[in-house]
Amino acid sequence: MNIIRGILIFLFALLPLGQNVFGQSKFYKHTEVGGSIGIIHYAGDLNQRFNIPNNLGFGATLSAQRNSINTRWGWRNSISAGRFRAADKYSKDAYLQSRNLSVRTFVAEVSSQIVFNFLPYEIGGITPGFEFPFTPYLFAGGAFYYFVPKAELNGTYYNLRQMDTEGQGTSVYQKKRAAAVQFSIPFGIGIKASLNKKVGIGVEWGLRKLYTDYLDDVSKTYVHPMVLINERGLEAAQLSDRSLNNHYIEDMPYANLNRQRGNTRTKDWYSFAGITLVWRIDDNRGRCPSY
């Protein structure tokens, strides 16, 4: 948090630098289209200590940003998709290693965001008076995302939402299954620069505030395996409890029944980080050519 606070203080200190040129010339409305490639990172019950290297996947984004007010503000719409992996085996906690759960989750997102440039900036510097070839920026908005958590068992990947590994939707537990499409709040930071009159490049990192704890299919307590076997199948019971001390297949008391499987007090997060490349498309309005 101290690092983030320091970055924000530095960025807001840049605001006065662009005030002397702001408003001197007519602003030319335009659109920026492009995309980014990079990584998707997850934090949740299978990554409680923000272990980055072992909880990454690849992601990509397509976006269109409308710049119609001035060189500070833009409105961006994006489509993103990615997939990450996470597993207890990478934890340094012996209890979590014994729990032995894992997940591979696909995420697809549609978002709309407001973008704020800390310096007056536009690709190519076409508007006279705006001389900054780069700018740090912030963005925030709203998004809807679709996610599919899966886990591997005996060489086959199973959709964990359909397995109801914590008893969701069964006749005994009657918990509500997590919706496949949910709302999130994307926000983040980046820096971008103009390469020429039509192309810009940048680096961006954006977090997603979620309202579900089932991005990794881990949240509450262990349920009775016979309920899952009878109503969802043997694979559901095996995927529900993969710990090193489960005994439900043997003729002995079930070791983990009603014990804590996840942490219900915290929600999951995911983030995108990547390199962006965008093209400027000017409005079809005549302008005097530059000589």
Domain ranges of the chain: 31-153+176-219+271-282
| 289: phi then psi, degrees, rounded to nearest 5 | -65, 155
HEC readout, 172-236: CCCECCCCCEEEEEEEEEEEEEECCCCEEEEEEEEEEECCCCCCCCCCCECCCHHHHHHHCCHHH
pLDDT tens-digit map of 88-124 = 999 888 889 999 999 999 999 999 999 999 998 989 8
Task: Check if CATH label 2.40.160.20 holds for domain 31-153+176-219+271-282.
Answer: yes
Who contacts 235 (Cβ-Cβ below 8 Å, separation ≥6)?
153, 158, 163
At 56 the pLDDT is 87
pLDDT tens-digit map of 230-257 = 999 999 999 999 987 665 555 455 778 8
Cβ-based neighbour number of residue 55 at 10 Å? 22
pLDDT tens-digit map of 140-165 = 999 999 999 999 999 999 999 999 99
Nearest CA-CA partner of 216 in 113, 57, 84:
84
- pLDDT over 50 (residue 70): yes
Three-state DSSP class for 262? coil
Ordered DSSP codes for 90-132 = G-S-HHHHHH--EEEEEEEEEEEEEEEESS---GGG-STT---
Q: How is residue 187 written in tokens? A: 């926000």
Give the pLDDT mean for 20-34: 71
At 287 the pLDDT is 52
